[in-house]
């Protein structure tokens, strides 16, 4: 009988990609995925360490799993518990000490070793607990070299990691410590993976990296290709109709990347470009190495290249030393740029990062107040952006049937979910695109009606 695998993923899209790759590795070992951890022979928690209580959440989840593991053992069944991802990288040894139910721990650059880790963990069962395996190497290219072909992602939208790690060391952030140094995969490897994703049904690919626009992968001649160049090559792939990338850093937006937004139609006009703060003083203390005006200038150039570009960002409020005045600068920037969507967080001191050591930490109630002011503004901007699309005709890429009879749900170029009534009767299916007039707003999606026939070109390509 097939063994069953349950993966629970926390954190960013790179973790989602990694989870799909863990499943790829385990398929040849006879594992099938299950949504229910109670049925699983192997449970992997792919963890995130970015903000507070991350580790506590992992321990409480381990506690729940331990009960399931005991229950399975009483029934003569097994359950192995594996902790992967960024908490594992940061606190692996401690997890092993504190949680005897955990069979193995591995970091984000070590999951290619899963088959060996499972073998070692089985041996460890009959041995002393300290023999349980811990894998923490930063071996990014070795990881990609050893991964089998992607098979777990077969939807219309797919993720493709092109770059790992971060050398930026923003003073608030754990990522450089949990993911290691920047590393870019070679162009040929990325193109080959994109081809396989398209053959499996992907039409919209999001290129991933902690600093995706720091990409500098071998172009085949030993020279580094930048992101703009990589996307130019990807745009030649038949069947791939939409290209996105995330997360980018303002410092690494170069001329070629800006030009690509104007030249390559397949690059979607929606960009996540985190700024974190609008105060130069705070940006400097964060080690972002750009000012608020640098950011305004980059956005202006991107919008000149692609006038309909919609923007998204991340913000941190209450970074140590942030005054009301600093926060006002953030609000000014938000009003200047106008975002289609954004994420905002209270600053959370992370162990081992420089900002956590600063003495002028901001009081919790001040953070709460600033966050709510910021989020109110961002919500207004998001609603205004969505309302402005009502009445427009947009290309919608269908992903799945909607909740209502005959309805299909797809995405606009700006990442908005659009529910289109009557699309099934017009021949909609996953991966097809149609022109849709946006007719109104639902709570979390837009409503639309078809104004063109469904484009079946992609089917011709795929067959
Ligand atoms: N590489 C990306 C972001 C990675 S982390 C970039 O450079 O922008 C995702 C987001 O989490 C960050 O953009 C930041 O807004 C938030 N974040 C990271 N560390 C944080 C911390 N210590 N407290 C609060 N938010 C944090
Ligand atoms: Fe973290 Fe800064 Fe690197 Fe982004 S650029 S991952 S925020 S250190
Ligand atoms: Fe979290 Fe690690 Fe991603 S800390 S945000 S899972 S890089």
Q: Is 247 left (phi over 0), alpha (psi -120 to 50) or beta?
A: beta
| Long-range contacts at 363-366 (CB < 8 A, ≥ 24 apart) | 366/318
Residue 12 backbone dihedrals phi, psi, to 5 degrees: -90, 175
- Largest Cα separation within the chain, whole Å, is 67
Are residues 451 and 368 located together in one domain of the fold? no
Q: Is 48 in the pocket of ligand 3 (CB under 6 A)?
A: yes
The DSSP element (H or E) to which 134 belongs, if any, is: strand 134-135
130 located within any domain? yes
Are residues 167 and 236 located together in one domain of the fold? yes
* Proximal ligand: closest to the CA of 107: 3
178 located within any domain? yes
Sign of the torsion angle spanned by Cα atoms 337, 176, 210, 103: negative
Gap from CA of 169 to ligand 3 centroid (Å): 14
Residues with Cβ < 8 Å from 276, sequence gap 6 or more? 170, 282, 283, 286, 288, 314, 315, 316, 319
In this structure, are residues 68 and 31 in contact, taking their beta carbons and an 8 Å threshold? Answer: no
Q: Is 239 in the pocket of ligand 3 (CB under 6 A)?
A: no
Are residues 419 and 451 located together in one domain of the fold? yes
Q: Is 58 in the pocket of ligand 3 (CB under 6 A)?
A: no
Domain count across the chain: 4
Q: Is 170 in the pocket of ligand 2 (CB under 6 A)?
A: yes
Are residues 416 and 446 located together in one domain of the fold? yes
Q: Is 210 in the pocket of ligand 2 (CB under 6 A)?
A: yes
* Mean pLDDT in residue range 305-331: 98
279 located within any domain? yes
Mean pLDDT is lowest, of 239-243, 334-338, 454-458, for 454-458
Q: Which pLDDT score, from 0 to 100, does residue 332 have?
A: 98
Q: Is 38 left (phi over 0), alpha (psi -120 to 50) or beta?
A: alpha
433 located within any domain? yes
Q: Is 428 in the pocket of ligand 2 (CB under 6 A)?
A: no
Containing domain of residue 253, as a range?
153-268
Q: Which pLDDT score, from 0 to 100, does residue 459 have?
A: 45
Which of 85, 111, 137 marks a domain boundary? 137
Tell me the pTM. 0.94
Which of 252, 268, 284 marks a domain boundary? 268
144 located within any domain? no
Counting residues of the chain whose pLDDT is more than 70, the rounded percentage is 97
Gap from CA of 174 to ligand 3 centroid (Å): 8
Q: Is 15 in the pocket of ligand 3 (CB under 6 A)?
A: yes
Q: Which pLDDT score, from 0 to 100, does residue 201 have?
A: 94
Residues with Cβ < 8 Å from 430, sequence gap 6 or more? 155, 156, 201, 398, 399, 400
Are residues 323 and 437 located together in one domain of the fold? no
> How do residues 344-356 score in pLDDT, each as one tens digit?
999 999 999 999 9
Gap from CA of 192 to ligand 3 centroid (Å): 26
> How do residues 404-432 score in pLDDT, each as one tens digit?
999 999 999 999 999 999 998 888 999 99
Three-state secondary-structure class, residue 306: coil
In this structure, are residues 431 and 397 in contact, taking their beta carbons and an 8 Å threshold? Answer: yes
Whole-number Å distance between alpha carbons of 114 and 266: 36
Residues with Cβ < 8 Å from 454, sequence gap 6 or more? 398, 423, 426, 427, 428, 429, 432, 433, 434
Q: Which pLDDT score, from 0 to 100, does residue 148 have?
A: 86
Are residues 277 and 304 located together in one domain of the fold? yes
* Proximal ligand: closest to the CA of 167: 2
Gap from CA of 86 to ligand 3 centroid (Å): 6
Ligand 3 atom 3: the closest Cα is on which residue?
A: 12
In this structure, are residues 172 and 287 in contact, taking their beta carbons and an 8 Å threshold? Answer: no
* Proximal ligand: closest to the CA of 322: 1
Distances (CA, A) of 458 to 11, 237, 264: 32, 12, 19
Q: Which pLDDT score, from 0 to 100, does residue 20 have?
A: 96
Ligand 1 atom 5: the closest Cα is on which residue?
A: 50
Alpha helices in 27-174 (DSSP H): 54-74, 85-98, 114-125, 140-146
Q: Is 69 in the pocket of ligand 1 (CB under 6 A)?
A: no
Which of 389, 407, 442 marks a domain boundary? 389
Q: What is the CATH number of the domain that holds 446?
A: 2.40.50.140
Q: Which pLDDT score, from 0 to 100, does residue 136 have?
A: 86
Q: Is 163 in the pocket of ligand 2 (CB under 6 A)?
A: no
In this structure, are residues 210 and 49 in contact, taking their beta carbons and an 8 Å threshold? Answer: no
145 located within any domain? no
The yes-or-no verdict on residue 461 having pLDDT over 50 is: no
142 located within any domain? no
- Of 265, 257, 269, the closest CA to residue 215 belongs to 257
The more confidently predicted of residues 279 and 443 is 279
Whole-number Å distance between alpha carbons of 172 and 157: 31
Gap from CA of 279 to ligand 2 centroid (Å): 18
- Of 135, 3, 105, the closest CA to residue 44 belongs to 105
The DSSP element (H or E) to which 231 belongs, if any, is: helix 227-234
Atom number in ligand 1 closest to CA 346:
24
- Of 448, 440, 415, the closest CA to residue 13 belongs to 415
Counting residues of the chain whose pLDDT is more than 90, the rounded percentage is 87
Q: Is 211 in the pocket of ligand 2 (CB under 6 A)?
A: yes
Q: Which pLDDT score, from 0 to 100, does residue 425 have?
A: 86
Query: Within 10 A of 424 (CB to CB), how many other CB atoms are there?
Result: 17
Q: Is 313 in the pocket of ligand 1 (CB under 6 A)?
A: no
Q: Is 288 in the pocket of ligand 1 (CB under 6 A)?
A: no
- Of 89, 88, 92, 84, the closest CA to residue 21 belongs to 84
143 located within any domain? no
């Amino acid at each position: 009988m097939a063994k069953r695998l349950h993966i629970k993923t926390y954190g960013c899209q790179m973790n989602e990609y990694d989870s799909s790759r863990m499943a790829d590795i385990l398929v040849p070992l006879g594992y099938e995925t299950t949504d229910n951890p109670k049925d699983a022979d192997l449970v992997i928690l792919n963890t995130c360490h970015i903000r507070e209580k991350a580790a506590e959440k992992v321990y409480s989840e381990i506690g729940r799993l331990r009960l399931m593991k005991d229950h399975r053992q009483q029934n003569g069944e097994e359950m192995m518990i594996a902790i992967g991802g960024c908490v594992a990288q940061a606190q692996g040894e401690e997890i092993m000490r504190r949680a005897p139910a955990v069979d193995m721990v591995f970091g984000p650059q070590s999951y290619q070793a899963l088959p060996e880790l499972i073998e070692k963990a089985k041996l460890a069962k009959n041995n002393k607990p300290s023999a349980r395996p811990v894998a923490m190497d930063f071996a990014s290219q070795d990881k990609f070299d050893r991964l089998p072909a992607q098979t777990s992602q077969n939807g219309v939208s797919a993720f493709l990691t092109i770059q790992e790690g971060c050398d930026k060391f923003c003073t608030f952030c754990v990522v450089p410590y949990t993911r290691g140094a920047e590393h870019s995969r070679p162009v040929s490897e990325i193109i080959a993976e994109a081809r396989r994703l398209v053959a499996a049904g992907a039409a919209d690919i999001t290129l991933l990296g902690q600093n995706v626009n720091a990409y500098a992968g071998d172009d085949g001649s030993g020279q580094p290709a930048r992101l703009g160049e990589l996307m130019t090559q990807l745009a030649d792939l038949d069947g791939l109709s939409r290209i996105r990338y995330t997360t980018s850093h303002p410092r690494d937006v170069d001329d070629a990347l800006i030009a690509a937004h104007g030249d390559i139609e397949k690059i979607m006009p929606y960009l996540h470009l985190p700024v974190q703060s609008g105060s130069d003083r705070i940006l400097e203390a964060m080690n972002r190495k750009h000012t608020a005006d640098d950011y305004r200038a980059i956005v202006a150039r991107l919008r000149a290249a692609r006038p309909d570009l919609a923007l998204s960002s991340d913000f941190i409020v209450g970074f140590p030393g942030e005054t009301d005045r600093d926060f006002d600068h953030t609000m000014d920037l938000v009003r200047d740029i106008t975002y289609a969507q954004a994420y905002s967080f209270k600053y959370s001191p992370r162990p081992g990062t420089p900002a956590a050591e600063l003495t002028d930490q901001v009081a919790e109630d001040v953070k709460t107040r600033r966050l709510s002011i910021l989020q109110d503004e961002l919500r207004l901007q998001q609603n205004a952006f969505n309302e402005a699309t009502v009445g427009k005709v947009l290309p919608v890429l269908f992903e799945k049937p909607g909740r209502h009879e005959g309805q299909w749900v797809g995405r606009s170029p700006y990442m908005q979910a659009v529910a289109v009534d009557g699309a099934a009767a017009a021949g909609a299916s996953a991966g097809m695109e149609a022109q849709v007039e946006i007719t109104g707003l639902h709570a979390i999606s837009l409503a639309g009606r078809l104004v063109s026939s469904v484009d079946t070109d992609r089917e011709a390509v795929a067959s």
